[in-house]
Every structure is written in structure tokens, then in C-alpha cells.
Amino acid sequence: MRFDQPAGTNPIDRMKVVGQPIDRIDGPLKVCGVAPYAYERHDVVPNQAYGFILGSAIAKGRIRSFDLADAKSAPGVIAIVTHENAGKLGKPKAITANLMGGPEVEHFDQAIAIVVAETFEQARAAAKLIRVDYARAQGQFDLRAAIPSAKPVSDSSGEGSASPGRIEIGDFDAAFARAPVKVDVEYTTPDESHAMMEPQATIAAWDGDELTLWTSNQMINWAVRDVSQALLIPREKVRVISPYVGGGFGSKLWIRSDVVMAALGARAAKRPVKVALTRQQVFNNTTHRPATVQRLRIAANKDGRIVAIGHESTSGDLPGGGPETATSQTRLLYAGANRMVEMKLAVLDLPEANAMRAPGEAPGMMALEAAVDELAEELGMDPVEFRVLNDTQVDPEHPERRFSERNLIGCLRQGAERFGWAKRNPKPGQVRDGRWLVGMGVAAAFRNNLTMRSGARVAVDGRGIVTISTDMTDIGTGSYTVIAQTAAEMMGVPVSQVVVRLGDSTFPVSSGSGGQWGGNSATAGVYAACAKLRDQVAAKLGFNATDVEFADGQVRSGGRSVPLTDVGEMSAEDTLTYGDLGKKQQQSTFGAHFVEAGVDALTGEIRVRRMLAVCAAGRILNPKTARSQVIGAMTMGVGATLMEEAVVDTRFGCFINHDLAEYHVPVHADIPHQEVIFLDEADPQSSPMKAKGVGELGLCGVGAAVANAVYNACGVRVREYPITVEKIIAGLPRVA
């Protein structure tokens, strides 16, 4: 099915099942501990051995030699694989650094060997006995020091955020210079780790020249492609299975070293091998969100209308990598005739920088929306009203392109009313609650909408059971549930009569999970398959396909009604592809974040007290699972603002706080009351589902809203994230 015209009225519009707050159907499996994650697949293949990966102890250089004698003679050791005996390997085009290093080393903790043994403990102990002779080379590990050598680059995150190396509309410099009110500020965001609950893990088993991988991955079809390119074997010889993923946040969009090393270990050991990365390896061996240095220059007339807006960002990555697209949202969020964005990339020899939840917009909004508040203060305007005044219904760079749906003003207005914004004191440091200084902050939320082609197979049997098969993944987002709801709505059966099978490369290729495209795109693929099956059923029953109705377990047309159970066994497969609607109109999602924060007047301790997100993001397929996505993103935003920082040792090129004891993320005590409101919206330009996504939107803007609340509470403006006690306390009012 091709989607190249705006969606008209269709069966999803009934909203009997779709749009209802149905409990996640995979929930009981997860809370009972029986959902099978990759490393726990003891049942799938017998005689599994254990692999442990040895990572490089240097960040850049060359391996002169290995001494494996002690490791080979250690108890339980079956095989050891290094670049010397691994055979010829390739590098997947989507991945920056080789997944097995040697003899060249590209970053600290790059996988350079795997030890396979009878037990995990034996493999780990033997890996420590390997002696490696390195020739260390000089590397560049400091983003600030590398800025002078950074070059403008045009790039896309692959998730809807993209920006040129430099683009200017109008005459930015002249407009900025002559404007009566302006800000020129620098914000920095640090390196961050995904720190998901389930680390990367894989079980690899060979059957002759065919490889099966039970792994933790967000994108099954991409994984098959990347394994084929890494191991130099045909795609048809690779099967990837990943029905449950314990969090990914972008770190599992592509295969990582656990996949390749498990496969190499299994081939050498001639038996299945299972590998799980340690928490420390998740930080330095996989990918991370790169640090940014961002300069915002925004100017307005005295009436508050923006006349010039400029955003420059610099980030770093390995040779061949790409930048953090932090300037993307600035191109679309506010009106203003004179505009400039510039995106630079510095070459750093740190572990690979790549997608982390809302790449581009998440750190970009942390800077932009704080700078917007600073300009509102310079103008003496309310921050909500300033944003409303500068709203636009067209793409500012291409005014002929309207937004398909844009209700940022509605999000701001409804959020302000619900949050009690009118009670906010605009003068910082004026509101006290005992020893706490209390303030409110706001930020717009923005994330582009991206649709991906997606396929599914649907079958119905003589019992009226509908089975959906697609290689879509569920990374904790509720894919099982919204897919079941879509099939139930289309085929006229309750959710209890729908079976959903996910995460297997033998199933039709789906959109996969990432960039908030998964829910909308995957259900659209299910819609296409069900529409095809509906036509087949109608033809079999002699019904007119244009007026056939599937409801309450019945197939009805022209006064006749036949139970679905009488249809017998039938199946259909289809893929939804997209035309150019996304080019004709700008498709984006919008929201507003409101935060109340307290700052201890004596110690500088910061506590978020309450949070509200208002989202306009197309049709909400399941308000319960969508709310879960948004509050999780809000929590992630609190972490990014107040505590998360992967600290770089600029001498040795590694992240030194590489575990959850020292890399701090929010816990329950850090998160207050959270409220989420979804505005009633359906976007027929997006898909037959008329949905979009909220998984990233819930994060974009949170950081600035927290920062703005902290400033309103105590009067200290911190432009270097994370905002910590050390950066607050020196600026607090003096107390006796």
C-alpha cells in the first residue's frame, strides 16, 4: 500500500480499540520475570559457552603483539579470538569504528579479543591473563581544545533532525547588530551515556554457514545488514531474533561488538556462545551522546518579535563520524526573517558518538529554550507570551511550506493554565517555602515527525484468532499493545483475540524502533496488511469491499452478516510505503514543558517539585503507553539537566565514571508528581493512523524548562550542563 494522499475516513477512526488506554499486553510477562531477553535464552540452543570481551587499554595506537599463553591454559578456556585468527572482517557502513579492533586501535575499550570458556567466571578470569603490547599514539580527547580545528559539516541524525554546515536566510549579522534587544550566550552540554537497564547481549549459534543471533536490538533488518557486512557473509545466511529489548535509547539501533564477537567466538569454539557487555563496556565500548558547545544569538524588536536568530554548535566524533545535529530545531521552531545556523564537527578519539534519544533536538533545545528565556527577560516579557508571539505556521526557511499540524500555542496556553503559571513571580529569588527558594520554568517542546516504510503479515484462523507477524521490536514502548490494538480495530475483534509476534528477521520488515517513528510507522504497516486481508475476506464472502464492516467478530455488508470464524484460514502481507507528503508540508510534533523547582538557600541543593508536559503529536494510539513514554522522557530530561555527565579523562581518552555508581541518573526520590496532557489532534498527512510520536518529544525541552525554573528560583543562570550544587552555590544570596 502506498500512502501518497492525505488519509480519509478509515476503520481506525472508529476509535473503539485504538486510542483506548489498554494495559500493555507484555506487562504480565515482564513483571513476572518470564519475558525472554537475549542473554536469558537458555532454551533456544543447547551447550552454550560463555564469552568475555577484552577491550583495549589505550585510546589510540597499535597492538604490537598478544601473549595468550596463560589465558589459553586457564581452566575452562575453549577458544580465544583476536584479529590474528578472526579471519577477514568488514566494517558496516552505518558504524564508525570497527567492532573488532586490531592491529589498529581506534578508541579506548574497543573490543580486541574474546575468550570463550565453560563459565562466565572462567572467561572473565582468563581475559585478565591476556597480555597486550601496545604502541600508544597521541590522540585528541578534549572538545574545547579541538574547536579551532572543527569544520562545518552538513549531516542528518537519520531520525528527522538534520542541518547544513552553514545556512543563512536574510542578513543575520546586520539584523542582529542593529536590533535593540539581544542575547549572545554560550551553552555547553556534556557527553552522556544511554545507561539502559539491559546491556548489549547476544547468543550466537552457527549451523554450518548459517548464523542465528538472539540479541538485544532495536532494528532487526539493519542488524541483519550490518552482520552481513561485518562478517562478510550473505544476508540470507543471517537470522536475528529480538522479541524483547530492555531499553535502548538509540544505543541498539545498530549492532555492537557483542554481536560480532559472539559470532566469532561461536565459530572458533564450534558451539553456541553468549556474550553480555559489562556496565563499564556499555559506557566506553558502545556509543554515547557527544558533548556540544553551542552559541545562541537571538535579537528582537522592543515589541518582542524576533528579527534575528543564530545558532552555532560544535561537537566531536571519531574520523568518519558525524556531528550532533543540535541546530536542527532552531530552523523550524520560531519565526524571524534573518536566520543563521552553523554546525561544526571536531575529530576526537573518544568512543563512538552516535544517536541517543532525540539526537540533535535534545541537547539543542537545552540551549535554545534557555536562551529564549534569557531574551524574554531582557524584553521584560512573560516567557510564555514571548513564545506565543513568535510562533509560525510555516517553515521559516521555506514559507511556502506550511506545517501539517502545529498547535504549539495550544500547548503553551493550556499548560500555563493547568500549571498555575499566572502565580509565577517573574523576578528571580522572590518565592520562599521555608529554606527553599522556589521557581517556575517553561520551554517549548519540538521534534520532527519521521515515517518509515513498514510491513506486516496478518493471518486469521477458524477460531477467529488474528495473528500479526512483523520484525518490529518492543523496547519498552508498548509495540505489542498498539499493534494488537490496530489489528483488533481493523479486523473487528477484541485485543484478547490478537496474537502479536515481533522481533524476528524471518518476519516482514518493519520500521523498527527509534526516533519516535516506530509506533506510527509499524501500526501503519499492520493497517496495510489488515486492509489487504479485509479485501480478500470480502471477496471470498462475495461482499462489496468498499462498504464491508468488520466489527464485533462479524463481517457485514449489504444487510448480510457472517462470523469471522466462518472465513477459515486466510493471510495477507503488505508494506506501507510513503509518497512525498512529508516534503509538501512540514510534519513535526510540538509541546510545552512546565517545571517547578526548589533550590536550598543554604546548600544549593536542587529539587524538581512538579512537572507538566502538554503534547500535540497526532492521534495518540494508546494514552496509557504514550504517557509512560512521556514521563520516562521527562525523567531522562531531569537527569540530563541536573546530574548526567560522562566525564572524559583527557589524558587517556576514556569516560572515567563508567558505571551507575558514579554516572548518576534519577531515582524515584528525584522525580516528583508528573502530569501529561495530550491535545486532541489527528494528522492525516502523516499516515493512515493519523498518528505521529511522543517518545522523543517528551524529552525535548525538559532540560531548559528545569534550568529556567532553577534560575527563577534563585537567580543563578547556569549555562554549563549539568546544573550542579557547585555551579549554583557561589551565586546564591548571602545568608546569616
215 has which bridge partners? 202
Q: Using an 8 Å Cβ cutoff, are 644 and 357 in contact?
A: no
- Whether omega before 426 lies within 30 degrees of 0, making that bond cis, reads no
Catalytic residue among 312, 696, 720, 726: 696
Helices 257-269 and 220-231, packing angle to 10 deg: 50
Residue 326 has which C-alpha cell? Answer: 543540535
696 is a catalytic site residue: yes
- Map residue 521 onto helix, strand or coil: helix
What are the distances in angstroms from CA 350 to CA 107, 388, 663?
6, 41, 17
Q: Using an 8 Å Cβ cutoff, are 275 and 120 in contact?
A: no
Q: Show Cβ contacts of residue 214 under 8 Å, excluding neighbours closer than 6 positions.
A: 38, 41, 44, 202, 203, 241, 242
3-class SS letters over 186-223: EEEECCECCCCCCCCEEEEEEECCEEEEEECCCCHHHH
Q: What is the CA radius of gyration of the chain?
A: 27
Q: Show Cβ contacts of residue 708 under 8 Å, excluding neighbours closer than 6 positions.
A: 369, 370, 373, 383, 441, 442, 443, 595
Q: Using an 8 Å Cβ cutoff, are 325 and 360 in contact?
A: yes
Write the DSSP string, 31-77. Answer: HTT-S--GGG-TTSSSS-EEEEEEEPSSSSEEEEEEE-HHHHTSTTE
Q: Using an 8 Å Cβ cutoff, are 706 and 637 in contact?
A: yes
Helices 623-642 and 361-379, packing angle to 10 deg: 70
Burial of residue 60, with CB atoms counted within 10 A of its CB: 0-12 exposed, 13-18 middle, 19 or more buried: buried
Burial of residue 64, with CB atoms counted within 10 A of its CB: 0-12 exposed, 13-18 middle, 19 or more buried: exposed
Residue found by looking up cell 537458555 in the block: 42
Q: Where are the beta strands (DSSP E) in 304-435?
A: 306-317, 338-347, 394-395, 398-402, 432-433
Q: Using an 8 Å Cβ cutoff, are 327 and 342 in contact?
A: yes
Q: Using an 8 Å Cβ cutoff, are 199 and 237 in contact?
A: no
Q: What angle do CA 207, 211, 217 make, to 5 degrees?
A: 145
Q: Which residues are catalytic?
A: 696
